[in-house]
Structure 1
Amino acid sequence: MNSLFNRIVLSASIAVFVLFMGLWQWFSANHQYNQNQIQQSLHRELATHMAHINPLLSQGVTSDAALKEAFHDFMLLGPSFEIYTLDLQGKLIAFDAPKSVIKRQQVDIAPLQQFINGAKLPVLGQDPRSPTTEKIFSAANLVDPRGVKTGYLYVIIGGQEFDAWQAVVAQHQHLNQWGAGLSVTILFALALFVVLLKYFTAPISQLAHDMNQLSGHSLTQDSLLKTRPQASKEILGLTTNINQLLSQVHQQHLAIAKQQTERHDFMLHLSHDLKTPLTTLQGYIDTWLLLAEHERDASLIEVAARAGLQLQQLLNQMLQLEALENGQVTATMQHFALAPILDELRQYFLPRAKAQVVELAFEVDENVAIYSDPLLLFRVLSNLVDNAIRYTPNGGKISINVEYSGDRVGLLVSDNGSGIHKHELQALKQHTQVSTNTQQYQQLPQLGVGLSIVRQLLGLLNCNLQVQSTPGKGSHFKIELASPEINESISL
């Protein structure tokens, strides 16, 4: 019953059946009412005439013996009439029928008085031959020569014999009527079914037509279904939902296309970063091999070793970036002292800094504690310091300081290196805000693997990054740290 076809068939069948039965009952009741009204109206004066033309009734005589012969004459009217005389209380006095068929010895005289007083027809009275049936009748007062009312003449219109013959005829007629009614019902049901089917399925057909038209075209911003105001609210709601899905699919398609373009640019940039140390490594090793054994200089191997180390770092960064983008890294937030982290960071980069004559100023108060993931924060700072050392000239300085702004705490990583160009800085500012829905960042192909890792890690740590940079003067990276509530710091 879940199909639309079956529902329409069932609803149409029930509707037709209920309508047919209701109309049948209404027509039957209305027909019976009209028939009673006509019959009683035609015989309204029947009892009055009978009482007037019969000598005994005209004198008000109501005795059983005296009226038998009069009733016998009146029965010549046919079996459609049953004649009774009643006293003033409605008790039966005389009648021309076996006593065994009489089921009532007294009838209610209120309907008789209504009839005699000219009430609106039809008026139904009790049938002496049935304990429950009421029938139409004609009635008249019986008055003696002195003008005293002695009783009533009560004539039932449509007696038992009439009802019996009428039942036989009606049964035959009902069979014909039911056959005709069922035929009309079937035809009406089929017509109604076709109309309902066309009415209910027309909006669906239109919707399917619109969907077929969309399927033959590429998805664009204007690829939406037509909204038809005359459609039902369900179809309108379905159209709206489909249009919303189409818009979302279009936006996702644009995002995927943009991501593919950015990933392509990123891979080009990455291949350049990998190519540089690899070329250096291969070139210095080839040079060392071409020299005579006594001419080989250890400095060539040292340069090749540094190039190999740089290549190794890039490969490690690539693996880290892949793990971050695949969701394989999670943050474990906790309170911890900042000084040991910065001390470890300084020891890690000290050899490179000495080789390039770059000062590392990472000293902070030993009592300062922050809320973050120590391992992931170390990796963030490590990538920022690595970039800073790479672009800071000899005699430069790289510092890490704690800054407070109200109830918020941040880490400021500064250098006086070459800085970031305007277009790179603009790209970085556009992509360092954390997305509230996905907690992910867009690709940063022009900024290298290091900053791509930084923005992924900051997303996991729920931190914001503010960047200020001037080409030739240096850069400032401010990391706004998170807290269990908003952003805060504590002292140990």
Structure 2
Amino acid sequence: MTMAWATLSRRLSVVFAVLLLVCCGASVWLQVRSNGMHEREVVQRLSLGLAAHIAENSELMKPGGLDQAAVKDLFDKLMAVNPSVEVYLLGLDGRIEAQAAPPGHLKRDRVDLGPVRKLLSGAPLPIAGDDPRSPSGTKVFSAAPLQMGGRDAGYVYVVLQGEDHDALVANVAADNVLRTTLWAMGLVALLGLLAGLAAFRLITRPLRELTAAVKRFESEGIASLEGEAPTLERLSRGSDEIAQLGQAFAQMTRRIAEQWRELTLQDQQRRELFANISHDLRTPLTSLHGYLETLLLKAGTLDEAERRRYLEIALGQSRKVGRLAQEAFELARLEYGVVKPEKESFALADLVQDVFQKFELAAEARHQRLKPDIAPGLPVVSADLGMIERVLTNLLDNAIRHTPEGGEIVVQLRAENGGVTVQVSDTGPGIPGELQKAIFTRPVFMSGSRADGTASSGGLGLVIVKRILQLHGSDIRLVQQADKGAVFRFQLGGATAG
């Protein structure tokens, strides 16, 4: 993670530095260009009447045309006084008729008259015209019409920044301008880079903190989440992309923490369940082994009544082992998703009556009363019929076995929230406080003995009940009620209209 962040930081810094240098270069270029344009406009405005003043000099003309000697003498004097100007006489077609350029310096023999006419018409300055000493260059100029005998004979064309001006500027100011420009660019780039890096550090600080939190989570695991909660809460404030990333990571860590706690709890419950099943299997197996061994060793000395009693006790222990094994197998199928609810719509009141019929004989043998308390107009429920029958069977079986003779078991059905609430209660001793928290997570064996000498037990019945109801999106609760023993309550959802 550190390497990734360093790479990101370097990339951002390099990109920012390059953009800054490009912007500085563009700014310097624009500034130099703007200064050049300003200088040319000033020079052109100051010298705008120079060509007209030359054209008014009558010594340039003689009856037969131009006085070449006078023209050359005047051009030499003007260029001696101001070496930056270059004076040309143009014909009406733009051809250069007279000039004072050194041999070999003249690169063209004609000047485009379009810029000249623009200047004479008063167009906005600066206006650049052809430079006779350059094949393709242009420079600011002054121009005026030249008349002879009252008629136009050509133009006086004065280049205001000639070769000598360019050479002087290049020799005197090139190094200074370049040095100043480079220093200015370097200083601006350095200050901009420092400001940009400081801004990057402030802007990306939440990202660095989030990266550190992810790295600690990677190295320390779930234990680091609680310590990172304040940081994640702070990073989640705001609406920018980093805040949204912090919110997503905070939600993910909370979900992972909840799932981890749930998995830890389930793992602990599963370990306890297996430990209790192992313990509860060992007890009846030890008893069964003891009675069978006694029968074997004392086969010749036991009378028929004692032999029968030993066999009944061994058979009871064998039934208990078989029941635990069957329930453990059924719970395993429910836990690992082998069995899925196949929901259908049915009347829960009819199912309760069917389950009552299965337990009528057992209840009569113990002089107990099975009492249905069913409200009228109950909605039809949607559930797996076989699974819900198993839920009611386990609850009634527990209630009958833990209710004393002459007691009463009540199954109450009430419409609630579009479904049906089921409550199974008895008049037995209830469930001791030390067992109430564990009855749905591990096998519970309560005190009390039967005629066969086995302990009265709930086994895994309630654990299976809870798991079945969880598969139906419901849950079961142990409810405290006065004048009642154990009271269990759960709800089933109503069937939606098709």
Instruction: Give the TM-score taking structure 2 as reference length.
Output: 0.68
Instruction: Determine the structure 2 residue equivalent to 1:26.
Output: 30
* Distance in 2 of aligned mates of 1:13 and 1:198: 13
**2:303 matched to 1:294?**
yes
Aligned AA (1:332): E
| Percent sequence identity over aligned pairs | 25
Summarize the alignment of residues 428-439 of structure 1 with structure 2, pairs less than 5 Å apart: none
* Distance in 2 of aligned mates of 1:43 and 1:424: 112
Instruction: Determine the structure 1 residue equivalent to 2:15.
Output: 11
Aligned CA distance change for structure 1 residues 74 and 334 (closer, same or farther; 3 Å):
same
Instruction: Determine the structure 1 residue equivalent to 2:72.
Output: 72
Deviation at 1:333, TM superposition (A): 0.5
Q: 1:456 aligns with which of 467, 473, 483?
A: 467
Instruction: Determine the structure 2 residue equivalent to 1:435.
Output: none
* Distance in 1 of aligned mates of 2:365 and 2:255: 53
Aligned AA (2:30): W
Aligned AA (2:224): L
**2:420 matched to 1:409?**
yes
Equivalent pairs, count: 456
* Distance in 2 of aligned mates of 1:468 and 1:128: 108
Instruction: Determine the structure 2 residue equivalent to 1:155.
Output: 157
Aligned CA distance change for structure 1 residues 452 and 356 (closer, same or farther; 3 Å):
same
**2:224 matched to 1:219?**
yes
- More deviation, 259-268/312-321: 259-268
Deviation at 1:253, TM superposition (A): 4.7
Deviation at 1:376, TM superposition (A): 0.8
Summarize the alignment of residues 47-62 of structure 1 with structure 2, pairs less than 5 Å apart: 47-51=51-55, 54-56=57-59
Aligned CA distance change for structure 1 residues 237 and 340 (closer, same or farther; 3 Å):
closer
Aligned CA distance change for structure 1 residues 398 and 50 (closer, same or farther; 3 Å):
same
Instruction: Determine the structure 2 residue equivalent to 1:82.
Output: 87
What do the CA deviations read for 1:128-173 (whole angstroms, capped 9, x no partner)? 969997632234577999xx997996332258x839x9599979x9
- More deviation, 274-283/389-398: 274-283
* Distance in 2 of aligned mates of 1:280 and 1:30: 109
What do the CA deviations read for 1:426-471 (whole angstroms, capped 9, x no partner)? x49xx9xxxxxxxxxx846768622221111112123454654547
3-state SS of paired residue (1:297) = helix
* Distance in 1 of aligned mates of 2:141 and 2:254: 80
Instruction: Determine the structure 2 residue equivalent to 1:483.
Output: 494
Instruction: Determine the structure 1 residue equivalent to 2:398.
Output: 387
Instruction: Determine the structure 2 residue equivalent to 1:285.
Output: 292
User: Contact 2:142–2:159 at 8 Å: present in 1 too?
Assistant: yes
* Distance in 1 of aligned mates of 2:288 and 2:63: 146
Instruction: Determine the structure 2 residue equivalent to 1:124.
Output: 127
Summarize the alignment of residues 418-433 of structure 1 with structure 2, pairs less than 5 Å apart: 418-421=429-432, 427=437
* Distance in 1 of aligned mates of 2:380 and 2:337: 28
Deviation at 1:209, TM superposition (A): 5.5
* Distance in 2 of aligned mates of 1:183 and 1:309: 99
Instruction: Determine the structure 2 residue equivalent to 1:437.
Output: none
Deviation at 1:39, TM superposition (A): 3.7
User: Contact 1:91–1:107 at 8 Å: present in 2 too?
Assistant: no
Q: 1:96 aligns with which of 92, 95, 98?
A: 98
Q: Where does the alignment leave 5 or more consecutive residues of structure 1 unmatched?
A: 432-441
User: Contact 1:466–1:477 at 8 Å: present in 2 too?
Assistant: yes
Aligned AA (2:66): A
**2:120 matched to 1:112?**
yes
Aligned CA distance change for structure 1 residues 198 and 406 (closer, same or farther; 3 Å):
closer
3-state SS of paired residue (2:65) = helix
Aligned AA (2:71): F
User: Contact 1:419–1:472 at 8 Å: present in 2 too?
Assistant: no
- More deviation, 411-420/90-99: 90-99
Summarize the alignment of residues 323-338 of structure 1 with structure 2, pairs less than 5 Å apart: 323-336=333-346
Instruction: Determine the structure 1 residue equivalent to 2:140.
Output: 136
* Distance in 1 of aligned mates of 2:62 and 2:290: 148
Q: Where does the alignment leave 5 or more consecutive residues of structure 2 unmatched?
A: 100-105, 445-457
Aligned CA distance change for structure 1 residues 232 and 390 (closer, same or farther; 3 Å):
closer
User: Contact 2:343–2:382 at 8 Å: present in 1 too?
Assistant: yes
* Distance in 2 of aligned mates of 1:338 and 1:229: 49
Aligned AA (1:162): E
Q: 2:40 aligns with which of 30, 36, 41?
A: 36
